[in-house]
């Protein structure tokens, strides 16, 4: 039973990651290869606030959101004027930079990471604690989805999609395209920081291996498979990321092999989808 709750909690956390990434990749049309870096910023900030300052999860996540917003504002302002390819490369550089800092800085625990991150006391430690943690992640996921549903037909979301489809036309009707993109990046960073905070508190131990370039690519592939520009696609992508290796366990495939098989399946699926269903399994926007 614990195995099932574990998968369901991770699905909720990864759904948050994909929903956050959906704003930059789907709505703004920018290939973001630094999702794992933003995820790491949220996770590490939460972990440090909880372990060093002894604060609770809500305060720690609040701190993670603040740090993410500041960094996103700096990075976004510097990179979101770039065209698509340049932005993808800049985001990749940011991903590598963040990981290098984490690996080589003592306060982040270097390659050993940070241990002993507590779960909130009110969640408890008994048999119901996983259900309680799942409920916590589910409430946050539902709140984010409701926010998304409110935003999706707003002039802001339309302007974001307009700037993605034809930047010149968006500018010609008064859309400040670089700033709209920075806003999308900020909102995206907040959602990803929250996911990072929940992840750190749930796993209770984080190290750089969870936030590498391969994780960013996996999250991007999950989004591409599920689909972009709505809420169904990113959630479906998250289900794939988590459920596939878990399902492989039933076939007696060991965890490292399961991760490799997941990558192979994702690779094949993305190639097939690009050919036959470029908008993903449940998406609205076909990536070009």
Partner 1 sequence: MVPLLKADGLTRRFDGLAILNGVSLEVAEGQCIGLVGENGCGKTSLLNVLSGVDRPDRGQIQYAPENGQMADITRWPAWRRARAGLLHYFQSPHIWRNLTVAEHVLAAATGCMLEGSVLGAARWSLSSSLRRSTRAKCEKLLDFVGLRGRANAKACELSFGQMKLVGLARLLAAPVRRMLLLDEPTAGIAPEVVVRMIEFLRKVRASGVGMLVVEHDREMLSGLADAVLELRQGRVVGFGEVA
Question: Which residues, numbered 192-211, are part of the site for partner 1 (CB under 8 A)?
Answer: none
Instruction: Check residue 169 for interaction with partner 1 (CB under 8 A).
Output: yes
Within 244-263, the residues that bind partner 1 by CB under 8 A are none
Q: In this chain, which of 156, 246, 253, 259 binds partner 1, going by CB under 8 A?
A: 156
284 lies in the binding site for partner 1 (CB under 8 A) = yes
SS3 per-residue string spanning the chain: CHHHHHHHHHHHHHHHHHHHHHHHHHHCCCCCCCHHHHHHHHHHHHHHHHHHCCCCHHHHHHHHHHHHHHHHHHHHHHHCCCCHHHHHHHHHHHHHHHHHHHHCCHHHCHHHCECCCCCCHHHCCCCCHHHHHHHHHHHHHHHHHHHHHHHCCCHHHHHHHHHHHCHHHHHHCCCCHHHHHHHHHHHHHHHHHHHHHHHHHHHCCECHHHHCHHHHHHHHHHHHHHCCCCCHHHHHHHHHHHHHHHHHHHCCCCHHHHHHHHHHHHHHHHHHHHHHCCCCCCCCCCCC
Least Å from the CB of residue 151 to partner 1: 5
Q: Restricting to residues 216-235, which ones interact with partner 1 according to CB under 8 A?
A: 229
Stretch that binds partner 1, among 70-78, 159-167, 198-206, 235-243 (CB under 8 A): 159-167
Is 81 a binding residue for partner 1 by CB under 8 A? The answer is no
Does position 80 interact with partner 1 (CB under 8 A)? The reply is no
Q: Is 150 in the site for partner 1 (CB under 8 A)?
A: yes
Binding to partner 1 by residue 143, rule CB under 8 A?
Answer: no
- Among 47, 49, 159, 224, the residue binding partner 1 under the rule CB under 8 A is 159
Size, binding site for partner 1 by CB under 8 A: 32
Nearer to partner 1, 133 or 148 (CB): 148
CB 133 within 8 A of CB 239: no
- Binding partner 1 (rule: CB under 8 A), the pick from 111, 154, 209, 260 is 154
CB 22 to partner 1: min, Å: 14
Binding site for partner 1 (CB under 8 A): 150-151, 154-159, 161-162, 164-166, 168-177, 180, 183-184, 186-187, 229, 284-286
């Amino acid at each position: 039973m614990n195995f099932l709750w574990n998968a369901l909690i991770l699905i909720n956390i990864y759904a948050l990651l994909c929903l956050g990434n959906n704003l930059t990749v789907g709505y703004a049309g920018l290939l973001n290869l630094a999702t794992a870096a933003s995820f790491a910023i949220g996770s590490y900030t939460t972990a440090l606030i909880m372990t060093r300052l002894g604060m609770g999860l809500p305060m720690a996540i609040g701190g993670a959101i603040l740090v993410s917003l500041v960094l996103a504002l700096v990075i976004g302002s510097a990179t979101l004027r770039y065209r698509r390819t340049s932005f993808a490369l800049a985001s990749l550089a940011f991903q590598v930079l963040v990981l290098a800092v984490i690996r080589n800085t003592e306060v982040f625990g270097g390659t050993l990471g940070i241990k002993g991150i507590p779960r909130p006391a009110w969640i408890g430690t008994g048999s119901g604690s996983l259900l309680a943690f799942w409920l916590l992640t589910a409430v946050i996921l539902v709140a984010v989805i409701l926010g998304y549903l409110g935003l999706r037909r707003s002039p802001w979301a339309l302007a974001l999609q307009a700037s993605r489809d034809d930047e010149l036309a968006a500018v010609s009707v008064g859309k400040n395209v670089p700033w709209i993109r920075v806003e999308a990046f900020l909102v995206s960073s907040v959602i990803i920081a929250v996911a990072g905070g929940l992840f750190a508190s749930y796993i209770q131990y984080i190290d750089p291996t969870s936030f590498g370039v391969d994780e960013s690519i996996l999250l991007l592939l999950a989004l591409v498979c599920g689909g972009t520009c709505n809420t169904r696609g990113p959630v479906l992508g998250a289900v794939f990321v988590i459920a596939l290796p878990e399902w492989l366990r039933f076939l007696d495939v060991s965890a490292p092999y399961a991760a490799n098989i997941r990558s192979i399946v994702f690779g094949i699926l993305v190639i097939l989808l690009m050919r036959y269903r470029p908008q993903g399994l449940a998406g609205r926007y076909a990536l070009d």
